[in-house]
Amino acid sequence: MRDKKIEVDATLREIPAYTLGEVPIFRWEHRLDDFQNGELNRHWHSEFLFGLVTEGTLDYYYSPISSRTSRATLEKGDGVFINSGVLHGCRQVTGGTRLFTFGMTPTFFSPPVFGKLYQNIIVPVTHCPVRGAFFPGAIPENRPLLRLLAQFEKLTPRQEDYELHTFELVCRIWRSMLKRLEWKTPDDLASTPRQGQLVALSEMVKFIQDHYQDPISVDDIAKAAKISRRECFRCFKELRGESPTVFLTQYRLSIAATQLATTGLPISAIAEGCGFESSGYFSRLFKARYGKTPREFRK
């Protein structure tokens, strides 16, 4: 065994690194023999995560909303999905176990390029009670998704059409995963106990996504859902565990991080384009979240 570990901050958050100019997706082939005790230590990140066991057997776990942890033993050919912001980890049962994983940010399908896709296929997942899911290969209904994950695992960044093939596969993987999860579209929210809050939150999140570049206030966000400022704070607190201002800032920072990783735009232009008052203010907030300055993050 070696002493490799997932690097996390004080909150157990991992900040995956992206390469400038490449598709904003991280992908790893974990050899669990390389990790201390054959374990990927407990961690979380804002990205959605997909995993495919390519060799051996491992015990995988993730933490749902309740205190009870979901666990499963996964073998070669089995898969897993972890929702954004969910604690997870695994430990090999047999030596030589390998796990292929890839992650995508919730903003992958965000406007303006993808129009309403973010609202229709991302928001329902981030707001649904499903924190993760296991996809055993023994279940026939899981096999289409697992075949797609296997195709992505075999795809290499050195291939000439890697970027186009990646976008194609990610879209197909996401579509296949949605068919397997119990998630709710905006129209389904009427059947939930907190339908008013969920609909209001959905409208406010959409407003933020459409106007994050602009100088917007909490009053502007609340007006988008036709609710009071107080109710706006309550919706975000009860359904997301954070204030609307924190969500707005984090969303702007996630857009900025993607642009830093995938474009050559000047840092000042990214700061302004993401709605920050100044480059200095942007840099301070960025370092507080990611542990690196924008310039260091880009290297």
Residue 137, pLDDT > 70, answer yes
What is the mean pLDDT of the segment spanning 142-171?
91
Positive or negative torsion for Cα 237, 238, 239, 241: positive
Task: Output the pLDDT for position 61.
Answer: 93
Residue 20 has pLDDT above 90, yes or no: no
Q: For residue 13, give every residue at least 6 positions away whose Cβ sits within 8 Å of its Cβ, in sequence order, or none.
A: 43, 44, 45
Confidence band for 193, pLDDT divided at 50, 70 and 90: very low
Confidence at 66, pLDDT banded by 50, 70, 90: very low
Q: What is the pLDDT of residue 192?
A: 43
Whether the pLDDT of residue 92 is over 90: the answer is yes
What pLDDT score does 115 carry? Answer: 60
Strand 98-104's sheet: what is its strand order?
25-31, 98-104, 48-55, 79-82, 132-135
| Three-state SS sequence of 199-257 | HHHHHHHHHHHHHCCCCCCHHHHHHHCCCCHHHHHHHHHHHHCCCHHHHHHHHHHHHHH
Pairing state between β 79-82 and 132-135: antiparallel
Residue with token string 């912001």 = 85
Among the listed residues 24, 222, 218, the one whose alpha carbon sits nearest the alpha carbon of residue 110: 24
The answer to whether 146 touches 79, Cβ cutoff 8 Å, is yes
Query: pLDDT tens digits, residue range 252-278?
Result: 998 888 888 888 899 999 999 999 999
User: At residue 65, does pLDDT exceed 60?
Assistant: no
Q: Among all chains, which residue has been given the structure tokens 């976008």?
A: 167
User: Which region holds residue 85: left if phi is over 0, alpha if psi is between -120 and 50, else beta?
Assistant: left
Residue 119 pLDDT > 80: no
Question: Which residues in 29-50 are b (16+ Cβ under 10 Å) and which e?
Answer: ebbbeebeebbbbebbbbbbbb
Q: Which two tokens stand for residue 166?
A: 């990646």
Q: Domains of the chain, with CATH numbers?
A: 25-180 (2.60.120.10), 187-298 (1.10.10.60)
Take residue 24 and report the two structure tokens written for it: 């904003």
Q: Given this model, what pLDDT does residue 249 score?
A: 92
Q: Would the pLDDT of 112 be above 50?
A: yes
Between 14-28, 41-55, 136-150, 218-232, the lowest mean confidence (pLDDT) is in 14-28
